[in-house]
Amino acid sequence: MSENEGKQHFVPFDRPVRAAFIGLGRIYDLNRLAYVDNNDVDVVALVEPSEERRRQRALDWPTAKVFSSVEELASSGIEVDAVEVLTPIALHEEVVLSCLALGWHVNLQKPMTNDLQSAARLISSAESHGCQLRVMENYLFYEPLLRLKEAVDSGELGAVSGYHLKMVASGRGGWDVPGDTYEWQFEEAQRGRGILYFDDGWHKISTALWLFGPVKEVRAWIGSTEVIPGLAVDAPTTIIWEHENGVRGVWDITLAVDMYLRSDYYTNDERWEVTGQRGFARVNRCTGRGIQQPSFEVYLDGTMRSHHALDDDWASSFRDSGRHWLRYLRSGVGPLHWSAREAYDVQSLAMAGYESSARGGLGVSPSTFAPPLPSS
Ligand SMILES: NC(=O)c1ccc[n+]([C@@H]2O[C@H](COP(=O)([O-])OP(=O)(O)OC[C@H]3O[C@@H](n4cnc5c(N)ncnc54)[C@H](O)[C@@H]3O)[C@@H](O)[C@H]2O)c1
């Protein structure tokens, strides 16, 4: 899918972008980093139903006005060019449609929405209103993963034979997550959109498409483990796929409820390892600080090269992804990572995985499974 599709109406801003945050919960703490000391943007408004959060976050932006809903902001007369939508997933469609109808460009947190029909409605609305809709993918801005892609693309590993992604969700360590954040995550799980495969897994699917291009076929076995009575988490889960270029990927998701994982953020132990005919390259960690060795390593011809000076703080990927978006609005220079149509490809692969699991692990082609989008 071309990221240029659907952006024909966009004229870059020749002044700082007037921006608003919509949703001031847990992940706002990292999304805000892109807006701090950034001449590309003026934060003019904050929108959040919780009074306590409005009060806390207003301290970050003394000149911004605060509102409890998008409607209140819209009727305030404050001019807004672009918004950062950081609401629970089930509200993405409703909130984004309101923003697009007001003519605001949108930087939306992943996952795009809960299903493909909803994603298609967002794309159609963005295109008909001539607005940019980006589904931000901070992992594509994480320096160790950027180095992994460079190693793959340079050909130094030889022809790629295959790769492996690993996620271990642990129950101990990391930052505090508010109770109401867990509540909507539990509701997501109940509607069949698990926190590991769908919510966090969105990033792993993104990196797969970014590294090796479209997937021809996916086979998934999505499991379930009850962690407290009535609440199940979507692990153990195992997914395999083959890209159109013939490269195969394997992704395993494991739960280790009692394991302590040192992390400044979520307790997620992640790895990527690409094997080529001559050597391999791997990213040893991302969100958490599982393996205490350099975050990126390349093995070739009997020698391991370890990269000791990368910016491998996960928060930096949010900062850089958000800065990229704001620079894009000022310059028009992409790629967006992801455009709404590219995000639809991510969503298609996620949904094809669910379909495969429902069919007992049979192969499903994402492009055949997902309804085609009308041309823009
Ligand atoms: N990129 C990543 O790695 C990453 C990590 C965590 C979360 N996320 C995503 O970010 C989004 C938000 O997650 P979170 O963990 O911050 O959730 P959260 O529950 O902590 O925060 C969401 C906030 O939105 C507010 N809200 C609810 N309805 C609203 C409305 N109509 N208008 C404005 N605000 C509203 C809530 O009161 C809350 O403060 C989700 O899509 C989630 O999947 C992404």
Locate the domains of the chain by residue range.
17-138+318-337, 143-311
Question: Other C-beta atoms within 10 Å of 311: how many?
Answer: 15
Mean pLDDT over each residue of the chain, to the nearest integer: 96
The mean pLDDT value for 72-89 works out to 98
Q: What is the DSSP string of 36-79?
A: TT-TTEEEEEEE-S-HHHHHHHHTT-TTSEEESSHHHHHTTT--
Determine the topology of domain 17-138+318-337 in CATH.
Rossmann fold (3.40.50)
* Residue 26: exposure state from Cβ atoms within 10 A (0-12, 13-18, ≥19): middle
The mean pLDDT value for 175-199 works out to 94
* Residue 319: exposure state from Cβ atoms within 10 A (0-12, 13-18, ≥19): buried
Task: Give the global pTM.
Answer: 0.97
Spatial distance between the Cα atoms of 157 and 152, rounded to a whole number of angstroms? 7
Assess whether the C-beta atom of 181 lies below 6 angstroms from ligand 1. yes
pLDDT of residue 263: 97
Cα of 200 vs centre of ligand 1, distance in Å, is 13
CA-angle at 288, arms to 284 and 290, nearest 5°:
55
Give yes or no for residue 283 having a pLDDT over 50. Answer: yes
CATH number of 143-311: 3.30.360.10
Alpha helix (H) ranges present in the chain?
28-31, 51-58, 70-74, 92-101, 116-129, 143-154, 179-190, 201-212, 314-331, 340-358, 366-369
Cα of 26 vs centre of ligand 1, distance in Å, is 7
Cα of 171 vs centre of ligand 1, distance in Å, is 21
The mean pLDDT value for 80-109 works out to 98
Give yes or no for residue 7 having a pLDDT over 50. Answer: no
> In the numeric block, which tokens belong to residue 370?
């997902």
Cα of 85 vs centre of ligand 1, distance in Å, is 8
Question: Other C-beta atoms within 10 Å of 117: how many?
Answer: 10
Cβ–Cβ under 8 Å, residues 126 and 65: no
pLDDT tens-digit map of 111-153: 999 999 999 999 999 999 999 999 999 999 999 999 999 999 9
Question: Other C-beta atoms within 10 Å of 259: how many?
Answer: 16
pLDDT of residue 199: 98
> In the numeric block, which tokens belong to residue 354?
């669910």
| pLDDT over 70 percentage in the chain | 98
Assess whether the C-beta atom of 94 lies below 6 angstroms from ligand 1. no
Give yes or no for residue 6 having a pLDDT over 60. Answer: no
pLDDT of residue 85: 98
Q: What is the DSSP string of 117-168?
A: HHHHHHHHHHHHHT--EEE--GGGG-HHHHHHHHHHHHTTT-SEEEEEEEEE
Alpha carbon nearest to ligand 1 atom 4, residue: 27
> In the numeric block, which tokens belong to residue 81?
């060019």
Spatial distance between the Cα atoms of 111 and 114, rounded to a whole number of angstroms? 7
Give yes or no for residue 5 having a pLDDT over 70. Answer: no
The mean pLDDT value for 242-264 works out to 97
pLDDT of residue 2: 47
Phi first, then psi, for residue 44 (nearest 5°) are -105, -20
pLDDT of residue 376: 80
Give yes or no for residue 223 having a pLDDT over 80. Answer: yes
Assess whether the C-beta atom of 201 lies below 6 angstroms from ligand 1. no
Hey, which of 48, 92, 286 would you mutate to test ligand 1's pocket, going by the most ligand atoms within 8 Å of its Cβ?
Answer: 48
Cβ neighbors of 128 (< 8 A, separation 6 or more) are none
Residue 1's pLDDT band (cuts 50, 70, 90)? low
Residue 4's pLDDT band (cuts 50, 70, 90)? very low
pLDDT of residue 74: 98
DSSP class of residue 193? -
Assess whether the C-beta atom of 135 lies below 6 angstroms from ligand 1. no
Assess whether the C-beta atom of 254 lies below 6 angstroms from ligand 1. no
Cβ–Cβ under 8 Å, residues 207 and 270: no
pLDDT tens-digit map of 285-342: 999 999 889 999 999 999 999 999 999 999 999 999 999 999 999 999 999 999 999 9
